[in-house]
Amino acid sequence: MPAPIALVPLPRSAEWTAAAPFVVGADTVVVVGPTPAETALGELATELLSRVTGHRLRAVQDPGAGAAIRFRLVPGGRSEAYTLTVGADGVLVEAGDPDGLAHGLSTLRQVLAQTGTELPAGRIEDAPRFAWRGLSVDIARHFFGPAELRRVVELMADHKLNVLHLHLSDDQGWRIDLPSHPELAELSGASAVDGDPGGFLTGGDYRELVAFAAVRGIRVVPEVDVPGHVNAALHAVPELTPDGTAADVYTGIEVGFSKLAADLPATEPFLRDVFRDLAALTPGEYLHIGGDEVLTMEPAEYARLIDMAARAVRDTGKKVVGWQEIATTPLEPGTVVQFWDPREDVTPFVEAARAGAQLLMSPGSKAYLDMQYHEGFPLGLHWAGYVALRDSYDWEPTTLIEGLPADAVIGVEAAVWTETLRTMDDLTTMLLPRLAAVAEVAWTDGDRRDWDDFAGRVAAQAGDWRARGIVFHPAEPVEWPR
């Protein structure tokens, strides 16, 4: 029998046999169907597999091709599920949708990263546990541009995550150019924490990122955070301030001091403009309204502003996502509440779920990947505690909130905030290997997860990360290969 392949996240089943392997060679072709989605997947497959095997592969649509890696859409089946079958005469990846084929490709690439050109014979049957498996990336505190975000998307695809949640605005900067308010990017796009360089995404940048992610089975959920975390907006649009005076640029990292005002005539039109523009740029189902850490506002005004923002989103035909604080206000069924602070009273979240809301689990003490690994770590903060690799792995999303029905949990999302992160190496150091841990929590059924087993499998990814120039932290207590 061949040596076991170390896959992360752990698939539902993987059976390897002693039959002859399939060897990828110079004559191997990638066979895909004729639809635009399949054609795009074929281009991605040839790029990824050529890079990992060293052979220049090409994509064809001839089902009679010889030594081939075939990607085939089959009717029915669960969304994002796939099967991968390897025999001496070829490889077959089957799925009911293009996202499933993309996940099968990720698995195939991960196997080849460990074996070179030889694929052991066998069969993998796989499907995700949760429908929402995300990563929230803060590009407001420090700006990460299109090239860096594409690298983040590639890491997400490696781990079968399917939602890139972009935190596009905060007190320190505004990171998306919107046609209704070009002054937001023009005036508040250049600032960042500590006076570091800023930047923003053009509409074209954003659309290209959405397309790049979609081929890899990932949708983008944009967040404009209101009614707090709005100093950058108040700087660019002084009509949003009670006295009509533009707020000063802010480059610190404190929270909770900025806010919109419900009674100002400019507020509701501003919210409608911003979310209408975001909806026009975003093909997915969801827009994120933020809603967190509004520390100097009365509850009644907060509820009015959340309602304004939510109605602005719903009027575009999108669904609402917000941080956990929105659960203290009346919510429409289907709203997604993102749980992040386990220190707070959980009663509103249980009540929101009973009223039809869904809970997205992002506990700071487990899934906030900007938290320091341990005391004295040179990057990150620790207000939610120190988050070791095992902390990011050993938790169960459906039991985090006592009294919450398990079926109210829509999924799991990691988050990385960038107050202290300036470079791509900083970002990947904090993400890896903990992103792999959270991804397995999101993908793999809880009764199949085992820390010791995961520790061995995640260590086996180190060679691939190093070969690709990805900086990561060799977190304890895993025994990492040199």
Which residues are part of the catalytic machinery? Answer: 293
Q: Where are the alpha helices (DSSP H) in 199-259?
A: 203-215, 231-236
Q: CA-to-CA distance for 98 and 181, rounded, in angstroms? A: 36
Q: Where are the alpha helices (DSSP H) in 58-202?
A: 98-115, 146-158, 182-188
Tell me the longest C-alpha to C-alpha distance in the chain.
Answer: 76
Give the N- to C-terminal CA distance of the chain in Å, as an integer: 26
- Residue 34: C-alpha distances to residues 37, 60, 213, 229, 329 (Å): 8, 9, 20, 46, 48
Identify the CA nearest to 287 among candidates 259, 308, 318, 312. Answer: 318
Specify whether the CB–CB gap between 111 and 119 falls below 8 A.
Answer: yes
Beta strands in 291-447 (DSSP E): 319-323, 336-339, 358-361, 409-416
Residue with tokens 């967040």: 223
Cα angle 267, 272, 273 (rounded to 5 degrees) comes to 100
Amino acid at 330: P
**Residues forming beta bridges with residue 138, ordered by sequence position:** 167
Structure tokens at 165: 């949640």
The burial class, CB within 10 Å (0-12 / 13-18 / 19+), for 25 is: exposed
Which residues have CB under 8 Å from 30's CB, separation 6+?
Answer: 42, 45, 46, 49, 57, 58, 59, 60, 68, 69, 70, 71
- Residue 315: C-alpha distances to residues 22, 247, 277, 348, 413 (Å): 52, 30, 12, 25, 26
Structure tokens at 375: 């005391």
- Chain centroid, CA 156 distance in Å: 6
Structure tokens at 373: 């690994």
